[in-house]
Structure 1
Amino acid sequence: MKKVVSNINNLTSLWKTAATPYQGYHKETSFESAYIENAQWPNRIWTNLSPSENQLKEIQQQMINKDNHFTFSLFTLPNQENSIKLDAKIQLKSTQYGMSLELNEKFETQRQIDFKRVENTEEADIWSNAFFKAFGYEISTTTILKTKKNIPYYLVYFEQELIGTVILYTTNTIAGLHSLGIIPEKRKQGFATEIMRHTLNKAIDQNLSLATLQASEMAKEMYLKLGFSLDFLMKNYGVTNPS
Protein backbone atom coordinates (compact mmCIF):
# COMPACT_ATOMS: atom_id res chain seq x y z
CA MET A 1 0.00 0.00 0.00
CA LYS A 2 2.94 2.34 0.67
CA LYS A 3 3.96 2.16 -3.01
CA VAL A 4 0.39 2.93 -4.09
CA VAL A 5 0.25 6.02 -1.86
CA SER A 6 3.70 7.21 -2.99
CA ASN A 7 2.72 6.80 -6.65
CA ILE A 8 -0.57 8.68 -6.28
CA ASN A 9 1.05 11.41 -4.18
CA ASN A 10 3.72 12.00 -6.83
CA LEU A 11 1.13 12.31 -9.59
CA THR A 12 -1.22 14.60 -7.67
CA SER A 13 1.73 16.71 -6.50
CA LEU A 14 2.63 17.24 -10.17
CA TRP A 15 -0.93 18.46 -10.88
CA LYS A 16 -0.83 20.77 -7.84
CA THR A 17 2.57 22.18 -8.85
CA ALA A 18 1.30 22.91 -12.37
CA ALA A 19 -1.88 24.68 -11.18
CA THR A 20 -0.47 26.62 -8.20
CA PRO A 21 1.05 29.54 -10.20
CA TYR A 22 -2.46 30.12 -11.60
CA GLN A 23 -4.09 29.93 -8.14
CA GLY A 24 -5.79 26.85 -9.57
CA TYR A 25 -5.18 24.30 -6.83
CA HIS A 26 -7.99 23.83 -4.30
CA LYS A 27 -8.40 21.40 -1.42
CA GLU A 28 -11.95 20.81 -0.22
CA THR A 29 -13.26 18.44 2.46
CA SER A 30 -14.20 15.74 -0.05
CA PHE A 31 -11.81 16.31 -2.94
CA GLU A 32 -8.87 18.21 -4.42
CA SER A 33 -8.68 19.89 -7.80
CA ALA A 34 -6.07 21.44 -10.09
CA TYR A 35 -7.28 23.69 -12.88
CA ILE A 36 -5.78 26.16 -15.37
CA GLU A 37 -8.27 28.31 -17.24
CA ASN A 38 -8.19 28.01 -21.05
CA ALA A 39 -5.79 25.06 -20.81
CA GLN A 40 -6.08 21.32 -21.41
CA TRP A 41 -3.81 20.22 -18.54
CA PRO A 42 -3.91 19.33 -15.68
CA ASN A 43 -7.62 20.18 -15.06
CA ARG A 44 -8.17 17.24 -12.70
CA ILE A 45 -10.35 16.51 -9.73
CA TRP A 46 -9.57 13.62 -7.40
CA THR A 47 -10.03 12.13 -3.97
CA ASN A 48 -8.50 9.38 -1.83
CA LEU A 49 -8.62 5.68 -2.60
CA SER A 50 -12.09 4.12 -2.20
CA PRO A 51 -14.12 7.34 -1.91
CA SER A 52 -17.46 7.36 -0.11
CA GLU A 53 -20.80 7.92 -1.85
CA ASN A 54 -20.95 11.43 -0.42
CA GLN A 55 -17.52 12.26 -1.83
CA LEU A 56 -18.57 10.99 -5.24
CA LYS A 57 -21.76 13.05 -5.13
CA GLU A 58 -19.81 16.22 -4.38
CA ILE A 59 -17.32 15.54 -7.18
CA GLN A 60 -20.12 14.92 -9.66
CA GLN A 61 -21.85 18.16 -8.68
CA GLN A 62 -18.57 20.00 -9.15
CA MET A 63 -18.06 18.47 -12.59
CA ILE A 64 -21.60 19.02 -13.87
CA ASN A 65 -22.30 22.47 -12.40
CA LYS A 66 -19.00 24.22 -13.06
CA ASP A 67 -17.74 25.68 -16.31
CA ASN A 68 -14.22 24.41 -15.62
CA HIS A 69 -14.35 21.00 -17.25
CA PHE A 70 -12.49 18.60 -14.97
CA THR A 71 -11.38 15.07 -15.62
CA PHE A 72 -12.17 13.01 -12.55
CA SER A 73 -9.35 10.54 -11.82
CA LEU A 74 -10.61 7.69 -9.66
CA PHE A 75 -7.93 5.56 -8.00
CA THR A 76 -8.85 1.93 -7.21
CA LEU A 77 -6.90 -1.19 -6.29
CA PRO A 78 -6.70 -3.83 -9.06
CA ASN A 79 -8.85 -6.36 -7.18
CA GLN A 80 -11.39 -3.79 -6.02
CA GLU A 81 -14.88 -4.19 -7.43
CA ASN A 82 -16.05 -1.16 -9.33
CA SER A 83 -19.45 -0.60 -7.77
CA ILE A 84 -19.53 3.20 -7.96
CA LYS A 85 -22.62 4.85 -9.36
CA LEU A 86 -22.10 7.94 -11.47
CA ASP A 87 -24.45 10.38 -13.15
CA ALA A 88 -25.38 9.44 -16.73
CA LYS A 89 -23.63 12.61 -17.93
CA ILE A 90 -20.29 11.34 -16.60
CA GLN A 91 -18.60 8.72 -18.77
CA LEU A 92 -15.37 6.75 -18.59
CA LYS A 93 -12.78 8.29 -20.96
CA SER A 94 -9.73 6.12 -20.29
CA THR A 95 -8.07 3.70 -17.88
CA GLN A 96 -4.44 3.96 -16.84
CA TYR A 97 -2.32 1.62 -14.78
CA GLY A 98 -0.37 2.87 -11.78
CA MET A 99 2.95 1.01 -11.81
CA SER A 100 6.17 1.09 -9.82
CA LEU A 101 9.70 -0.26 -9.83
CA GLU A 102 12.24 -0.34 -7.01
CA LEU A 103 15.45 1.30 -8.19
CA ASN A 104 18.44 -0.93 -7.54
CA GLU A 105 20.80 -1.66 -10.42
CA LYS A 106 21.30 0.49 -13.48
CA PHE A 107 19.88 -0.58 -16.83
CA GLU A 108 22.01 -1.42 -19.85
CA THR A 109 21.44 1.07 -22.65
CA GLN A 110 21.85 0.51 -26.38
CA ARG A 111 22.08 4.06 -27.74
CA GLN A 112 23.38 7.44 -26.71
CA ILE A 113 20.31 9.47 -25.77
CA ASP A 114 20.69 13.15 -24.87
CA PHE A 115 18.40 14.99 -22.45
CA LYS A 116 17.98 18.79 -22.55
CA ARG A 117 16.06 20.37 -19.70
CA VAL A 118 13.78 23.18 -20.86
CA GLU A 119 15.18 26.56 -19.80
CA ASN A 120 13.75 29.21 -22.13
CA THR A 121 10.80 30.12 -24.35
CA GLU A 122 12.20 28.52 -27.50
CA GLU A 123 12.76 25.20 -25.73
CA ALA A 124 9.34 25.41 -24.06
CA ASP A 125 7.76 25.87 -27.51
CA ILE A 126 9.61 22.85 -28.87
CA TRP A 127 8.59 20.74 -25.86
CA SER A 128 4.95 21.81 -26.08
CA ASN A 129 4.80 21.04 -29.82
CA ALA A 130 6.51 17.65 -29.42
CA PHE A 131 4.21 16.72 -26.55
CA PHE A 132 1.16 17.64 -28.63
CA LYS A 133 2.39 15.50 -31.53
CA ALA A 134 2.96 12.57 -29.17
CA PHE A 135 -0.23 12.77 -27.08
CA GLY A 136 -2.77 14.81 -29.06
CA TYR A 137 -3.44 17.38 -26.34
CA GLU A 138 -1.56 20.42 -25.13
CA ILE A 139 0.65 21.41 -22.23
CA SER A 140 1.07 25.05 -23.18
CA THR A 141 4.32 26.98 -23.51
CA THR A 142 3.04 29.40 -20.87
CA THR A 143 2.41 26.60 -18.37
CA ILE A 144 5.87 25.16 -19.01
CA LEU A 145 7.57 28.53 -18.50
CA LYS A 146 5.62 29.20 -15.29
CA THR A 147 6.46 25.81 -13.77
CA LYS A 148 9.85 24.82 -15.22
CA LYS A 149 11.72 25.61 -11.98
CA ASN A 150 9.73 22.97 -10.11
CA ILE A 151 8.89 20.56 -12.94
CA PRO A 152 11.83 19.22 -15.02
CA TYR A 153 10.62 19.11 -18.63
CA TYR A 154 13.16 17.27 -20.81
CA LEU A 155 13.55 17.33 -24.57
CA VAL A 156 15.06 14.02 -25.71
CA TYR A 157 17.44 13.75 -28.66
CA PHE A 158 19.16 10.96 -30.58
CA GLU A 159 21.99 11.94 -32.92
CA GLN A 160 20.93 15.60 -32.52
CA GLU A 161 17.39 14.86 -33.74
CA LEU A 162 14.43 15.40 -31.46
CA ILE A 163 12.67 12.13 -30.66
CA GLY A 164 10.37 12.97 -27.76
CA THR A 165 9.63 14.33 -24.30
CA VAL A 166 9.73 13.20 -20.69
CA ILE A 167 9.23 14.65 -17.20
CA LEU A 168 11.19 13.31 -14.22
CA TYR A 169 9.30 14.74 -11.25
CA THR A 170 10.52 13.85 -7.77
CA THR A 171 8.75 13.77 -4.40
CA ASN A 172 10.91 12.67 -1.46
CA THR A 173 12.78 9.65 -2.89
CA ILE A 174 10.16 8.90 -5.54
CA ALA A 175 10.98 9.31 -9.24
CA GLY A 176 7.75 10.08 -11.06
CA LEU A 177 8.06 9.43 -14.79
CA HIS A 178 5.49 11.42 -16.75
CA SER A 179 4.80 12.57 -20.33
CA LEU A 180 7.13 10.07 -21.98
CA GLY A 181 6.10 10.61 -25.57
CA ILE A 182 7.68 9.81 -28.93
CA ILE A 183 6.89 12.06 -31.89
CA PRO A 184 5.12 10.09 -34.67
CA GLU A 185 8.00 10.03 -37.16
CA LYS A 186 10.32 8.43 -34.56
CA ARG A 187 7.98 5.67 -33.39
CA LYS A 188 8.52 1.91 -33.72
CA GLN A 189 12.30 2.31 -33.43
CA GLY A 190 12.66 1.25 -29.79
CA PHE A 191 13.07 4.78 -28.49
CA ALA A 192 10.42 4.59 -25.76
CA THR A 193 12.15 1.70 -24.00
CA GLU A 194 15.55 3.31 -24.48
CA ILE A 195 14.40 6.66 -23.04
CA MET A 196 12.87 4.82 -20.09
CA ARG A 197 16.13 2.99 -19.35
CA HIS A 198 18.11 6.25 -19.49
CA THR A 199 15.55 8.06 -17.32
CA LEU A 200 15.60 5.29 -14.72
CA ASN A 201 19.40 5.51 -14.65
CA LYS A 202 19.11 9.28 -14.10
CA ALA A 203 16.82 8.57 -11.15
CA ILE A 204 19.33 6.11 -9.68
CA ASP A 205 22.07 8.75 -10.08
CA GLN A 206 19.85 11.06 -8.00
CA ASN A 207 19.66 8.41 -5.23
CA LEU A 208 15.92 7.94 -5.73
CA SER A 209 14.48 4.66 -4.46
CA LEU A 210 11.25 4.04 -6.39
CA ALA A 211 10.12 4.84 -9.93
CA THR A 212 6.40 5.42 -10.48
CA LEU A 213 4.24 6.04 -13.54
CA GLN A 214 0.74 5.70 -14.96
CA ALA A 215 0.71 3.64 -18.15
CA SER A 216 -1.80 3.43 -20.95
CA GLU A 217 -3.10 0.02 -22.03
CA MET A 218 -0.77 0.22 -25.04
CA ALA A 219 2.38 0.99 -22.98
CA LYS A 220 1.68 -1.30 -20.01
CA GLU A 221 3.41 -4.32 -21.53
CA MET A 222 6.63 -2.37 -22.14
CA TYR A 223 6.81 -1.39 -18.47
CA LEU A 224 6.09 -4.92 -17.27
CA LYS A 225 9.03 -6.15 -19.38
CA LEU A 226 11.25 -3.54 -17.68
CA GLY A 227 10.28 -4.97 -14.29
CA PHE A 228 7.47 -2.63 -13.20
CA SER A 229 4.59 -4.06 -11.20
CA LEU A 230 0.93 -3.05 -11.25
CA ASP A 231 -0.18 -1.16 -8.12
CA PHE A 232 -3.57 0.43 -8.92
CA LEU A 233 -5.98 1.51 -11.64
CA MET A 234 -6.71 5.11 -12.51
CA LYS A 235 -10.06 5.53 -14.25
CA ASN A 236 -10.55 8.90 -15.88
CA TYR A 237 -14.10 10.24 -16.24
CA GLY A 238 -15.44 13.28 -18.05
CA VAL A 239 -18.77 15.02 -18.62
CA THR A 240 -20.20 13.96 -21.97
CA ASN A 241 -21.71 17.32 -22.97
CA PRO A 242 -20.21 20.05 -20.77
CA SER A 243 -22.12 23.33 -20.92
Structure 2
Amino acid sequence: MSLVDAWFAPAPDPARVAWLSGHEYAHRGLHTSADVENSPGAFAAAIARGMGIECDIQLSGDGQAMVFHDWELDRLTAETGPVADRTAAELGAIALGSSGERIPTLRDLLGLVRGRVPLLIEIKSRREMRIGAVCLAVRRVLEGYGGEAAIMSFDPRVAAWFGRNAPGIVRGLVVTEENDRTFIGTIRRYLWLWDAKPDFLAYDVRDLPSGFAAAQRRRGLPLLTWTVRTPALRLLASQFADAPIAEGEGVANPAPNR
Protein backbone atom coordinates (compact mmCIF):
# COMPACT_ATOMS: atom_id res chain seq x y z
CA MET A 1 0.00 0.00 0.00
CA SER A 2 2.95 2.35 0.57
CA LEU A 3 3.57 2.67 -3.18
CA VAL A 4 -0.08 3.57 -3.72
CA ASP A 5 0.10 6.11 -0.88
CA ALA A 6 3.24 7.63 -2.38
CA TRP A 7 1.47 8.01 -5.72
CA PHE A 8 -1.81 9.48 -4.49
CA ALA A 9 -0.55 11.34 -1.39
CA PRO A 10 3.20 12.06 -1.73
CA ALA A 11 5.16 12.69 1.44
CA PRO A 12 6.11 16.34 2.03
CA ASP A 13 9.56 17.84 1.76
CA PRO A 14 11.07 17.14 5.21
CA ALA A 15 12.36 20.70 5.46
CA ARG A 16 8.82 22.03 4.96
CA VAL A 17 7.36 20.14 7.93
CA ALA A 18 10.33 19.75 10.29
CA TRP A 19 9.01 22.46 12.62
CA LEU A 20 5.90 20.44 13.46
CA SER A 21 7.86 17.86 15.46
CA GLY A 22 9.53 18.36 18.79
CA HIS A 23 6.96 20.82 20.14
CA GLU A 24 4.23 20.43 22.68
CA TYR A 25 0.96 22.06 21.61
CA ALA A 26 -1.56 23.45 24.07
CA HIS A 27 -4.99 22.11 23.11
CA ARG A 28 -7.21 25.19 22.64
CA GLY A 29 -4.54 27.14 24.48
CA LEU A 30 -3.28 26.47 27.99
CA HIS A 31 -6.71 26.69 29.55
CA THR A 32 -7.53 26.34 33.23
CA SER A 33 -10.49 27.21 35.43
CA ALA A 34 -9.39 30.85 35.07
CA ASP A 35 -8.55 30.91 31.35
CA VAL A 36 -11.32 29.54 29.14
CA GLU A 37 -10.40 27.37 26.14
CA ASN A 38 -9.59 29.28 22.94
CA SER A 39 -9.35 32.53 24.89
CA PRO A 40 -6.64 35.21 24.69
CA GLY A 41 -5.63 34.36 28.26
CA ALA A 42 -5.20 30.66 27.45
CA PHE A 43 -3.12 31.53 24.40
CA ALA A 44 -0.98 34.01 26.36
CA ALA A 45 -0.34 31.33 29.01
CA ALA A 46 0.85 28.91 26.33
CA ILE A 47 3.14 31.53 24.80
CA ALA A 48 4.60 32.33 28.24
CA ARG A 49 5.59 28.67 28.61
CA GLY A 50 6.94 28.38 25.08
CA MET A 51 4.24 25.92 24.01
CA GLY A 52 2.79 25.70 20.54
CA ILE A 53 -0.91 26.47 20.25
CA GLU A 54 -3.78 24.45 18.77
CA CYS A 55 -6.98 26.39 18.13
CA ASP A 56 -10.33 25.97 16.38
CA ILE A 57 -11.95 28.07 13.67
CA GLN A 58 -15.62 28.75 13.00
CA LEU A 59 -16.95 31.16 10.38
CA SER A 60 -18.95 34.20 11.45
CA GLY A 61 -22.09 35.22 9.63
CA ASP A 62 -20.13 37.87 7.72
CA GLY A 63 -17.35 35.52 6.68
CA GLN A 64 -14.65 36.13 9.29
CA ALA A 65 -12.48 33.41 10.84
CA MET A 66 -13.37 33.27 14.55
CA VAL A 67 -11.46 31.29 17.17
CA PHE A 68 -14.18 29.14 18.72
CA HIS A 69 -14.71 25.39 18.92
CA ASP A 70 -18.46 24.77 19.14
CA TRP A 71 -21.11 25.34 16.51
CA GLU A 72 -23.33 26.86 19.21
CA LEU A 73 -22.53 29.60 21.72
CA ASP A 74 -24.32 27.89 24.61
CA ARG A 75 -21.52 25.92 26.34
CA LEU A 76 -18.90 28.65 26.61
CA THR A 77 -20.91 31.87 26.79
CA ALA A 78 -24.08 33.30 28.28
CA GLU A 79 -25.50 33.56 24.75
CA THR A 80 -27.33 30.89 22.79
CA GLY A 81 -27.63 29.85 19.16
CA PRO A 82 -25.28 29.22 16.24
CA VAL A 83 -21.98 31.07 15.90
CA ALA A 84 -22.77 31.47 12.19
CA ASP A 85 -25.81 33.62 13.00
CA ARG A 86 -23.63 36.42 14.43
CA THR A 87 -21.27 38.86 12.76
CA ALA A 88 -17.64 39.05 13.77
CA ALA A 89 -18.31 42.30 15.64
CA GLU A 90 -21.20 40.71 17.52
CA LEU A 91 -19.13 37.64 18.40
CA GLY A 92 -16.23 39.83 19.49
CA ALA A 93 -18.49 41.47 22.06
CA ILE A 94 -19.48 38.15 23.68
CA ALA A 95 -17.73 37.19 26.93
CA LEU A 96 -16.16 33.76 27.27
CA GLY A 97 -17.44 32.22 30.50
CA SER A 98 -17.01 34.52 33.48
CA SER A 99 -13.52 35.62 32.45
CA GLY A 100 -14.59 38.84 30.78
CA GLU A 101 -12.47 37.93 27.76
CA ARG A 102 -14.11 38.05 24.35
CA ILE A 103 -14.23 35.66 21.41
CA PRO A 104 -11.12 36.45 19.33
CA THR A 105 -10.70 36.42 15.59
CA LEU A 106 -7.90 34.44 13.97
CA ARG A 107 -6.30 37.77 13.12
CA ASP A 108 -6.36 38.68 16.83
CA LEU A 109 -4.60 35.42 17.64
CA LEU A 110 -1.88 35.94 15.03
CA GLY A 111 -1.34 39.44 16.40
CA LEU A 112 -0.92 38.00 19.88
CA VAL A 113 1.45 35.20 18.85
CA ARG A 114 3.60 37.22 16.42
CA GLY A 115 5.56 34.15 15.38
CA ARG A 116 6.82 33.34 18.88
CA VAL A 117 5.32 29.83 18.96
CA PRO A 118 3.95 27.52 16.25
CA LEU A 119 0.23 27.36 15.51
CA LEU A 120 -2.09 24.51 14.54
CA ILE A 121 -5.36 25.88 13.19
CA GLU A 122 -8.19 23.34 13.10
CA ILE A 123 -10.91 24.33 10.65
CA LYS A 124 -14.31 23.00 11.70
CA SER A 125 -16.64 21.68 9.03
CA ARG A 126 -19.74 19.59 8.49
CA ARG A 127 -20.44 17.12 5.72
CA GLU A 128 -23.27 19.21 4.29
CA MET A 129 -21.39 22.51 4.37
CA ARG A 130 -19.45 24.08 1.56
CA ILE A 131 -15.94 24.53 2.86
CA GLY A 132 -14.68 27.17 0.44
CA ALA A 133 -15.80 30.20 2.48
CA VAL A 134 -14.13 29.20 5.74
CA CYS A 135 -10.96 28.06 3.94
CA LEU A 136 -10.76 31.36 2.09
CA ALA A 137 -11.28 33.32 5.32
CA VAL A 138 -8.38 31.49 6.97
CA ARG A 139 -6.14 31.86 3.92
CA ARG A 140 -6.72 35.61 3.82
CA VAL A 141 -5.65 35.98 7.45
CA LEU A 142 -2.57 33.78 7.02
CA GLU A 143 -1.34 35.64 3.93
CA GLY A 144 1.86 37.42 4.87
CA TYR A 145 2.10 35.86 8.34
CA GLY A 146 5.74 35.15 9.05
CA GLY A 147 5.37 32.61 11.86
CA GLU A 148 5.05 28.85 11.75
CA ALA A 149 1.41 27.91 11.17
CA ALA A 150 -0.49 24.97 9.74
CA ILE A 151 -4.13 24.25 9.07
CA MET A 152 -5.80 20.92 9.76
CA SER A 153 -9.26 19.38 9.70
CA PHE A 154 -11.14 16.11 10.03
CA ASP A 155 -12.60 16.97 6.64
CA PRO A 156 -10.27 15.87 3.81
CA ARG A 157 -11.86 18.50 1.58
CA VAL A 158 -10.20 21.22 3.67
CA ALA A 159 -6.63 19.97 3.19
CA ALA A 160 -7.40 19.32 -0.48
CA TRP A 161 -8.68 22.91 -0.86
CA PHE A 162 -5.47 24.32 0.60
CA GLY A 163 -3.40 22.01 -1.57
CA ARG A 164 -5.05 23.51 -4.65
CA ASN A 165 -5.49 27.11 -3.55
CA ALA A 166 -2.76 27.79 -0.99
CA PRO A 167 -0.03 25.18 -1.47
CA GLY A 168 2.44 27.20 0.56
CA ILE A 169 0.44 26.62 3.75
CA VAL A 170 1.23 23.39 5.59
CA ARG A 171 -1.90 21.25 5.85
CA GLY A 172 -2.90 18.30 8.00
CA LEU A 173 -5.60 15.64 8.24
CA VAL A 174 -7.12 14.98 11.67
CA VAL A 175 -7.97 11.30 12.15
CA THR A 176 -9.80 9.15 14.67
CA GLU A 177 -10.54 5.44 14.35
CA GLU A 178 -13.25 5.62 17.00
CA ASN A 179 -16.32 3.54 16.01
CA ASP A 180 -14.72 2.90 12.61
CA ARG A 181 -12.19 0.11 13.07
CA THR A 182 -13.64 -2.26 10.47
CA PHE A 183 -12.08 -3.13 7.13
CA ILE A 184 -14.38 -0.56 5.51
CA GLY A 185 -13.16 2.01 8.03
CA THR A 186 -9.56 1.33 7.04
CA ILE A 187 -10.41 1.76 3.36
CA ARG A 188 -12.19 5.00 4.22
CA ARG A 189 -9.07 6.36 5.93
CA TYR A 190 -6.96 5.59 2.87
CA LEU A 191 -9.48 7.34 0.62
CA TRP A 192 -9.46 10.40 2.88
CA LEU A 193 -5.65 10.39 2.85
CA TRP A 194 -5.49 10.22 -0.93
CA ASP A 195 -8.09 12.98 -1.27
CA ALA A 196 -6.50 15.30 1.32
CA LYS A 197 -2.84 14.77 0.33
CA PRO A 198 -1.81 16.12 3.75
CA ASP A 199 1.63 17.19 4.93
CA PHE A 200 1.02 15.63 8.37
CA LEU A 201 -1.50 13.69 10.43
CA ALA A 202 -3.05 14.66 13.77
CA TYR A 203 -4.16 11.34 15.24
CA ASP A 204 -6.44 10.37 18.13
CA VAL A 205 -4.06 9.26 20.90
CA ARG A 206 -6.58 6.59 21.96
CA ASP A 207 -5.89 4.82 18.65
CA LEU A 208 -2.14 4.56 19.16
CA PRO A 209 -0.34 2.42 18.26
CA SER A 210 -2.02 2.35 14.85
CA GLY A 211 -0.77 0.49 11.80
CA PHE A 212 -2.22 3.14 9.48
CA ALA A 213 -0.61 6.01 11.41
CA ALA A 214 2.72 4.21 11.69
CA ALA A 215 2.82 3.54 7.95
CA GLN A 216 2.32 7.21 7.13
CA ARG A 217 4.89 8.25 9.72
CA ARG A 218 7.47 5.86 8.26
CA ARG A 219 7.15 7.42 4.84
CA GLY A 220 7.66 10.96 6.12
CA LEU A 221 4.40 12.45 7.38
CA PRO A 222 4.89 13.92 10.88
CA LEU A 223 2.46 12.38 13.36
CA LEU A 224 0.92 14.66 15.95
CA THR A 225 -1.53 13.24 18.48
CA TRP A 226 -4.52 14.55 20.44
CA THR A 227 -5.87 14.97 23.05
CA VAL A 228 -3.18 14.05 25.56
CA ARG A 229 -4.92 14.53 28.93
CA THR A 230 -3.01 12.23 31.31
CA PRO A 231 0.59 11.21 32.05
CA ALA A 232 -0.19 7.73 30.67
CA LEU A 233 -1.37 9.20 27.37
CA ARG A 234 1.69 11.46 27.34
CA LEU A 235 3.92 8.40 27.56
CA LEU A 236 1.96 6.78 24.73
CA ALA A 237 2.39 9.92 22.62
CA SER A 238 6.14 9.95 23.25
CA GLN A 239 6.40 6.35 22.03
CA PHE A 240 4.30 6.53 18.88
CA ALA A 241 4.06 10.18 17.74
CA ASP A 242 6.23 13.18 16.99
CA ALA A 243 4.41 15.75 19.12
CA PRO A 244 1.53 15.85 21.61
CA ILE A 245 -1.46 18.16 21.56
CA ALA A 246 -2.12 18.28 25.29
CA GLU A 247 -4.22 19.76 28.05
CA GLY A 248 -4.68 19.40 31.79
CA GLU A 249 -2.55 16.69 33.39
CA GLY A 250 -1.26 15.69 29.96
CA VAL A 251 0.83 18.85 29.74
CA ALA A 252 4.43 18.56 30.88
CA ASN A 253 4.56 20.07 34.38
CA PRO A 254 1.00 21.45 34.12
CA ALA A 255 0.39 24.82 35.68
CA PRO A 256 -2.04 24.85 38.65
CA ASN A 257 -5.50 26.34 38.24
CA ARG A 258 -5.59 29.96 39.27
Return the TM-score normalized by structure 1.
0.34
> Relative contact order, CA 8 A, sep 6+: which one is greater?
1
Length-normalised TM-score, structure 2: 0.32
Give 1 or 2: higher strand fraction: 1
